[in-house]
Amino acid sequence: MSQANLVAITRGPSPRMELGERTYTDEFPIDGTLAVKQHAQYQAALRSCGARVVSIPGCEELADCVFVEDTAIVVDEIAVMMSMGAASRRDEVPTIEKALREFRTIARVELPAKIDGGDVVRSGRDVFVGLSQRTNPAGVDALRTILGPFGYSVTAVPVLEVLHLKSACSALPDGSLLVNAELISTSPIQGRKLLPVPKTEPLAGDVLVIGERIIASDAFPETISLLEGCGWEVIPVSVSEFAKAEGGVTCMSLVFNAGLD
């Protein structure tokens, strides 16, 4: 991703975040004060990568609103608003759409198609979409219909015991994929070089790539060392409170180039 005119849309955590949707994690208490502090540090990491942070206030009624990535995907040509798999989260979409209208033409996936942005991994013109509890085949087909005219290929990837595809798969700067092959089916992505996460860090496949820099959770030191050994600069951040709500470093921002030549 070019760093020219880079924008990162974020949203503050809801004070009721611990009441949000949780599928694969236990309902550990979330420290709201610490979450606010970690979110501020996360935004600082985005700025250190050259992004202009557009911050939208959190909403008490929308427990999962901090996870803005699930509401949309943004490519160079268009922004696509998601039809989210969890009904409780669908009211998050309009506010993010309002923010994105400044930068992109808007398209929408509509029910009964369901899709979360956390299930979408893009590497160049290749778009991989997780078939998960939040994204159904109709959602994949709808995204293919929207993105196909712009030259993107859309490939479905079955997701196993994890919430989203990005929970176990991220595109790295060289086009390879950081993956946990025990949590997703790798058959549809075998054409790519796959970099396995350490077995001791099964959820470390979620990293945020901005140019040649990578933002990663500091809970995964072995993965950070692995990525640094490949020659990339890694910026560790603490996201423990968001991990309790099944979030990771990709979940809390929509990062894209605002102005394109």
At 211-260, the pLDDT tens digits run: 899 999 999 999 999 999 999 999 999 999 999 999 999 999 999 999 75
At 139-183, the pLDDT tens digits run: 999 999 999 999 999 999 999 989 999 999 999 999 999 999 999
Q: Is the peptide bond before 112 cis (omega within 30 degrees of 0)?
A: yes
Domain boundaries of the chain, sorted by first residue: 6-257
- What contacts 250, CB < 8 A, 6 or more positions away? 69, 118, 166, 170, 206, 207, 208
- What is d(CA 227, CA 79) in angstroms, rounded to the nearest whole number? 30
Catalytic residue numbers read 164, 251
Percentage helix, strand, coil, to 5, in the chain? 30, 25, 45
Of the pLDDT bands very low, low, confident and very high (cuts 50, 70, 90), residue 73 is very high
| Fold observed for domain 6-257 | L-arginine/glycine Amidinotransferase; Chain A (3.75.10)
- What is d(CA 123, CA 174) in angstroms, rounded to the nearest whole number? 9
Q: Are strands 120-123 and 126-131 parallel, antiparallel or unpaired?
A: antiparallel
